[in-house]
Amino acid sequence: MRFKLIIAFVEEDKSDQLVDAARAAGATGVTLINHARGEGLKPKKTFFGLHLEVQRDVLLFVVEEHLARNILECIAKVGEFDSSPGTGIALQLDIEDVVGVAHQIESLSERVGEEL
């Protein structure tokens, strides 16, 4: 079984919605990193030297490769990444090796078999 890593950088108030959407699409878990900072096309504004920016979360999903694209699209839709600039981004990367997911492989095998 092969896996992909989906990384999403999102506004912290949307994290729970994105995790729920990813789980509904087949993700079996998530690692969430709080309070990340980022900058898009336009730098954030400052007020008396203080940065006025929304805190971001980084969501990391290790997902089965056949489910990855659908999960990525669900995350993008719920996060409104393409319709609202500055709401976040998500990307997927190939994973060469992974350990610690043996307990999930049986469940994933059944679901992926149904998807194919």
Q: Which comes out higher in pLDDT, residue 37 or 88?
A: 88
The tens digit of pLDDT for each residue in 18-28 reads 999 999 999 98
Question: Strand runs (DSSP E) across the chain, as ranges?
Answer: 3-11, 31-36, 46-47, 50-51, 56-64, 88-94
The rounded distance, in Å, linking the Cα atoms of 115 and 98 is: 22
The tens digit of pLDDT for each residue in 1-12 reads 889 999 999 988
- Decide the pairing of beta strands 31-36 and 56-64: antiparallel
Q: What is the pLDDT of residue 115?
A: 59
Instruction: Tell me the domains of the chain and their CATH numbers.
Output: 3-39+51-115 (3.30.70.120)
Q: What is the pLDDT of residue 55?
A: 78
pTM of the predicted model, to two decimals?
A: 0.81
71 burial level (CB within 10 Å; 0-12, 13-18, 19+): buried
Dig out the tokens for 86 from the structure. Answer: 């500055």
Please give the C-alpha separations between residue 53 and each of 10, 49, 79, 84, in angstroms, as whole numbers.
12, 12, 17, 16
* Residues 8 and 75 sit within 8 Å (Cβ to Cβ): yes
Q: What is the pLDDT of residue 86?
A: 79
Q: What is the pLDDT of residue 95?
A: 94
- Decide the pairing of beta strands 46-47 and 56-64: unpaired
The tens digit of pLDDT for each residue in 43-67 reads 666 666 666 566 789 999 999 999 9
